[in-house]
Amino acid sequence: MANRETGNVLARFNVGDRVRVKDLPNLFYSRTQMYVRGVSGVIASRTYQSLVPEDEAWNRDEAQPQQFYIVRFRQKDLWEEYPFDNDTLQTELPEGWLEPATD
Amino acid sequence: MQSQHDHDHAHDANAAHRAAPMVDEISDFEVLEIAVRELAIEKGLFTADEHRRFTEWAESIGPAAGSRLVAKAWTDPAFKARLLADAVAACREIGLDWAEPTGTGTPSDYMEFRVLEDTPNLHHVIVCTLCSCYPRPVLGHSPYWYRSPNYRRRLVRWPRQVLAEFGLQLPPEVEIRVEDSNQKHRFMVLPMRPPGTEGWTEEQLAEIVTRDCMIGVALPRPDRKADDPRPVQPARRPVESTSANRAAG
């Protein structure tokens, strides 16, 4: 909630950067949806800094906040045989789930 | 009447008969909510009447604020620019404070809100695949279908088919952008102002911006207001209930 104030970590990615969502194991709680894992997209905007859900869910207030981003994916990259070229999907992800895309 | 009486008599003779419970299902979360609420009242954190008053307020919020935002953006380009740049600040201009009622928003509506602008080539639609995140301060509570697994799992995978089920078919050239609001941002769609509304006042425009237009499953139309009468089919065999019948019965 008030993590905007505590957020002072250096953001690693810029708008326009191509990133890939890491496919990390689930430990109890996450808000990183399975359907975006391992898929590459583009940073659409840099949003706020906050505890990640994996820490916040357990009141780990001492954990390091992370930069969050809205990432835009092509539907064709998310779903095999998606028939419409132009369609996209956006969702918000913490930096720890993202790495530079190599594809 | 005689046959009806015989039937009832036979029924009463069935000793095993028990009435079905009025409510056959209560979720774990409902049980938890009642337990926590009653504990909080016992501990004096708030009274039952205070809880009732908050519930009364929480259930009174609706999509009127969202409609006003859209209508104002349609008529005032400078406001639209402010709305797209910082939606939480723009909400304060129409008297809506996202910090209510706790000072940091409701416990699950954070102070992060973005308005998604539709263009002739881009149509937005919102969903929360994890559960039910929804811009409640501006749109009120989400409709039942918005929270259903059916909508949540299918909108991200087959958006055009789901929109078609709502009666909205868009040409393939128009980019459909699904916004999955599964973190702290809340989103609302700013649809395009439809033709045929030239010269309308802000109040007139707000009337055609219905809740579904701001979720993105419908488009505003000049001939359709939120409080228009719905198409209804009359009952084919209505119960005849007149005072004469009741007296005779």
- Under a CB-based contact definition with an 8 Å cutoff, are residues B171 and B156 in contact? no
Nearest CB to A91: which of B110, B160, B180? B180
**Using a CB-CB distance cutoff of 8 angstroms, which residues of chain A are in contact with residue B110?**
1
pLDDT digits (tens, 9 = 90+) for A61-91: 999 999 999 999 999 999 999 999 999 999 9
For chain A, how many residues are written? 103
Domains and CATH numbers, chain B: 64-215 (3.90.330.10)
Q: Report the alpha-carbon distance of residue A13 to residue B236 in Å, rounded.
A: 63
Peptide bond into B234 cis (omega under 30): no
Report residue B59's pLDDT band, with 50, 70 and 90 as the boundaries: confident
Nearest residue on chain A to B183, judged by CA atoms?
A: A92
Mutation pick from B183, B185, B186, B189 vs chain A, by most beta carbons of A within 10 Å, is B183
A97 and A22 Cβ atoms separated by less than 8 Å: yes
At A29, which amino acid appears? Y
| B131 contacts on A by Cβ (under 8 Å) | none
How many A/B residue pairs have CB atoms within 8 Å?
70
| Residues B230, B227: Cα–Cα separation, whole Å | 9
Q: A93, exposed or middle or buried, with CB in 10 Å at 0-12, 13-18, 19+?
A: buried
Note the pLDDT tens digit of each residue in B170-210.
999 999 999 999 999 999 999 999 999 999 999 999 999 99
What's this model's pTM, rounded to 2 decimal places? Answer: 0.84
- As for the ipTM of the complex, it is 0.92
The closest of B245, B237, B248, B200 to B222, measured between CA atoms, is B200
Smallest Cα–Cα separation from B222: which of B208, B238, B212?
B208
3-class SS of residue B139: helix
Angle, helices B77-85 vs B64-75, to 10°: value is 120
Residues of A in contact with B130 (CB under 8 A): 31, 33
Domains and CATH numbers, chain A: 3-100 (2.30.30.50)
Asked if residue A38 has pLDDT above 90, the reply is yes
Instruction: At A34, give phi and psi (nearest 5°).
Output: -60, -35
